Amino acid sequence: MEFILYEVKDMVATITINRPKALNALNSQVLEELDATLDAVDLNTVRCLILTGAGDKSFVAGADIGEMSTLTKAEGEAFGKKGNDVFRKLETFPIPVIAAINGFALGGGCEISMSCDIRICSENAVFGQPEAGLGITPGFGGTQRLARVVSVGMAKQLIYTARNIKADEAYRIGLVNAVYPAEELIPQAEKLAVTIAKNAPIAVRNCKKAINDGLQTDMDSALVIEEKLFGDCFETEDQKAGMGNFLEKDKEKKLKVVPFKNC
Ligand code: DAK
């Protein structure tokens, strides 16, 4: 891999987009390597992913404008599909994905962060969908996901104006869950990931699926999705261990990390 770093520690894998000279812009090769990296994640040992960018300036400064500038219509469509497929793979990845946004998250950079379950950022992060100024629409799901993550009116304002916003505003509108000094971002992402990883893996996966799938449908159908995924947790070792510890009323044991089996 030329542009992706992959590291596993304490049931948490960190994927770093490593193209700092171009502020980690997404070209075809980055997208292909990211796709292959996701396919290779060992879901028996990894329970949470962190996605970040190399360097201290940029998470992802968007799709590669140099590469895009010469695309034909057909090539543009193929590039869009490549991005959309890998972003969707992240969004529907069986385990939670935390975007640790360490600087610019523009265009495709903002969009890839919105394919993740949780977004936290450093104080120097900058978000925006500058596409309207470049003569295109957001092409990696920005028109759809931004309107689902923040209010519709706010999404429209950001996209129509192509205006960038800083970390504090991103926090205020709910685009990110927390803002940290740059040096604390990765430790905080790891702490959050470990907290998630300590919970029952089948339950966490089913929660992700229930939330994602339920948001795509009406409430009655969504509750049926939840019932099914709730039911699927029963008779698993995770459920037996989790509830068993509580019922034993052994406070020490209850607080202890339950040795949950992987799915
Ligand atoms: N693409 C390619 N190279 C980039 C880049 C990008 N998006 N952003 C930065 N770079 C490169 C710069 O060209 C420069 O390279 P060298 O000149 O050193 O070789 C290097 O990174 C450092 O950048 P700067 O010198 O510009 O650094 P500054 O600190 O002065 O400025 C900046 C940082 C982030 C404000 C600036 O670089 C900037 O405005 N970058 C572009 C940001 C942007 O507009 N991003 C959105 C791209 S549009 C589609 C699907 C998806 C998309 C489109 C279509 N289809 C369905 C087909 C997505 C579109 C986008 O993401």
263 pLDDT tier (thresholds 50, 70, 90)? very low
| 111 is annotated as an active-site residue | yes
17, 64, 65, best to mutate for ligand 1 pocket (most atoms within 8 Å of CB):
65
Side by side, which strands form the sheet with 165-166?
58-60, 104-106, 126-128, 165-166
Residues in contact with 154: Cβ distance below 8 Å, sequence separation at least 6, in sequence order: 173
**Does 252 or 121 have the greater pLDDT score?**
121
| 131 is annotated as an active-site residue | yes
- Is 256 a residue whose pLDDT tops 60? no
Which residue minimizes the CA distance to atom 34 of ligand 1? 61
- 140 in contact with ligand 1, CB cutoff 6 A: yes
Q: What are phi and psi of 16, to 5 degrees?
A: -115, 125
Residues in contact with 123: Cβ distance below 8 Å, sequence separation at least 6, in sequence order: 167, 179, 180, 181, 182
How far does residue 234's CA lie from ligand 1's centre (Å)? Answer: 48
- Is 67 a residue whose pLDDT tops 90? yes
What would the pLDDT profile of 106-139 be if each residue is shown by its tens digit? 999 999 999 999 999 999 999 999 999 999 999 9
Q: Measured from the CA of 77, which atom of ligand 1 is nearest?
A: 57
- Is 32 a residue whose pLDDT tops 80? yes
How far does residue 104's CA lie from ligand 1's centre (Å)? Answer: 10
What would the pLDDT profile of 228-243 be if each residue is shown by its tens digit? 999 999 988 888 888 8
Q: What is the pLDDT of residue 251?
A: 58
245 pLDDT tier (thresholds 50, 70, 90)? confident
Q: What is the pLDDT of residue 212?
A: 97
How many whole angstroms separate alpha carbon 168 and alpha carbon 165? 8
Q: What average pLDDT does the structure give for the chain?
A: 94
Residues in contact with 160: Cβ distance below 8 Å, sequence separation at least 6, in sequence order: 132
- 162 in contact with ligand 1, CB cutoff 6 A: no
